[in-house]
Structure 1
Amino acid sequence: MVEMRHWPLTSLELVTPRLRLHVPDAAQLDALAGLAAAGVHDPGVQPFTVGWTDGEPDVVARRVLQYAWGTWARWSEQDWSLWLAVSLDGAVIGSQELSGHEFAVRREVTTGSWLGRGFHGKGLGTEMRAAVLHFAFAGLGARHAVSGAYVDNAASLGVSRKLGYRDDGVEHHAVRGTDATLQRLRLNREDWETHRSIDVRVDGLDACLPLFGLPADE
């Protein structure tokens, strides 16, 4: 990604022992779109409330591109969504998102992610979520992180439990025309600190703080 003085998120980078999380450049974004088009979950189930993966491959790929561009276009200090590419050994393997609404006041973030199917079951989902949780709690001063997964999504729920999230009630949604139960999850700062087990390095944060509604010396 070419560094942009007026959009310092292009220089933001989260690094774990195996992964690099970063704003994708055009080629990386196109590769992510192709990865999503090839499949990110068993087609027999739909783990997302918004069924963006239901469609022909070209349609799914365009949805990824449009979603990424939309997060950048809609960004404000009061309502932001940091959509990052996740790279392993130089190749993009999925995306990790961290969102905040009135974050400077509420100090609460929401996470969401996906991985190409060939990268499931290797602990990478845990590692990339740990990266953005470190960014949120240690970098931005969050007090809470929330997430959710449908009750039949054992892999996602397992990641949350491993990282210290606690159950936070349920919701019911219509997914593919049927009732689906979503388990809400919440992680507070104390539980995050207790369950930390992955080293994370954050580069380029200081210049980005005003974009999150925080003073530069936060």
Structure 2
Amino acid sequence: MSGTSGQRRLAEVWPLFGLSIRTPRLILTPVRDEQLPGLVDAILAGIHAPSVMPFGVPWTDAPRDTLIRESLKYQWSLRAALSPDDWTISFAVQHEGRVIGVQDLSARRFSLLRRVSTGSWLTSAEQGKGLGKEMRAAVLQFAFDHLGAESAASGAAAWNRASLGVSAALGYEPNGSALIEARPGQADEHQLLLLAREDFRRPEWTAAVEGVEAVRPILAGA
């Protein structure tokens, strides 16, 4: 069985593996097992300076072997836990044939609330090129235009101007703040953000989405 026909067959039994979102520079697909080595390489290449912690959970502080193992377990756990009322899709972000980061899209009680949440990371070498904005705009188009979402939540550490700048450029508005323990004994303020569908500042391009018909019943319950 060829690789292409094998992927087609896998998408028949697990439709999320047939989903893809294309932008001018990126391809986003739910993380597949064959992408995991590239994903690990991107993580190990470094995501942020050791002196700061941009994530609500300090997962990048783990020792190398633990970081690799837990990153794989996290990806597999998302598939096992998926249901129409509680899901997270972890999209592998590919640029010029390489995995350079992850863009998460998640929802709780989506059929009722019609709200999604986003989170993401890019390997350090690819930051500052506008790719973070491009990949978030891609999943927002997917959520608003193909799943029927009405709003999108996000957030970032108050010091993380790059992430907050992406949010502002896309139309998000402040929605309160929260104090979290970013690292043991270290409190950080996180800015909470909310984007209404009608306030989304769309890019000049439109994302090309494939495989949405098969995944819509799984994610939106319809």
Secondary structure class of the residue paired with 1:9: helix
In the TM superposition, residue 90 of structure 1 has moved relative to its aligned partner by 1.2
Task: Say whether 1:102 aligns with 2:134.
Answer: no
**Residue of structure 2 aligned with 1:121, choices 121, 128, 139:** 128
- The number of residues matched between the two structures is 214
Partners in 1 of 2:143 and 2:127 — Cα distance? 24
**Residue of structure 1 aligned with 2:15, choices 3, 8, 25:** 8
Partners in 2 of 1:58 and 1:2 — Cα distance? 29
Partners in 2 of 1:137 and 1:213 — Cα distance? 12
Task: Say whether 1:17 aligns with 2:33.
Answer: no
Alignment root-mean-square deviation, CA: 1.3
Is the 1:37–1:58 contact (alpha carbons within 8 Å) kept by the matching residues of 2? no
Secondary structure class of the residue paired with 1:105: helix
Is the 1:34–1:61 contact (alpha carbons within 8 Å) kept by the matching residues of 2? no
Partners in 2 of 1:195 and 1:139 — Cα distance? 15
Task: Say whether 1:63 aligns with 2:84.
Answer: no
Task: Say whether 1:33 aligns with 2:21.
Answer: no
Task: Say whether 1:180 aligns with 2:185.
Answer: no
Is the 1:16–1:198 contact (alpha carbons within 8 Å) kept by the matching residues of 2? yes
Unaligned ranges ≥5, structure 2? 1-5
Bigger mean CA offset, 170-179 vs 122-131: 170-179
Q: Deviations over 1:80-131 (max 9, x none)?
A: 1011100011111101010010101100000000111110100000000000
Secondary structure class of the residue paired with 1:206: helix
- Corresponding residue for 1:149? 156
In the TM superposition, residue 27 of structure 1 has moved relative to its aligned partner by 2.7
In the TM superposition, residue 23 of structure 1 has moved relative to its aligned partner by 2.0
In the TM superposition, residue 77 of structure 1 has moved relative to its aligned partner by 1.1
More helix by share: 2
In the TM superposition, residue 201 of structure 1 has moved relative to its aligned partner by 0.9
**Residue of structure 1 aligned with 2:57, choices 44, 50, 70:** 50
Q: Deviations over 1:22-74 (max 9, x none)?
A: 02332311210121122111111000111000022222222211111111011
Is the 1:164–1:191 contact (alpha carbons within 8 Å) kept by the matching residues of 2? yes
Partners in 1 of 2:66 and 2:46 — Cα distance? 12
Is the 2:18–2:210 contact (alpha carbons within 8 Å) kept by the matching residues of 1? yes
- Corresponding residue for 2:168? 161
Secondary structure class of the residue paired with 1:53: helix
Letter in 1 for 2:175: D
Partners in 2 of 1:17 and 1:126 — Cα distance? 12
Is the 1:30–1:65 contact (alpha carbons within 8 Å) kept by the matching residues of 2? no
Give every structure 1 segment of 4 or more consecutive aligned residues whose post-TM-superposition deviation is greater than 6 Å.
Answer: none
Secondary structure class of the residue paired with 2:60: coil
- Corresponding residue for 1:206? 213
Is the 1:173–1:180 contact (alpha carbons within 8 Å) kept by the matching residues of 2? yes
TM-score by length of 1: 0.94
- Tell me the percent identity: 44
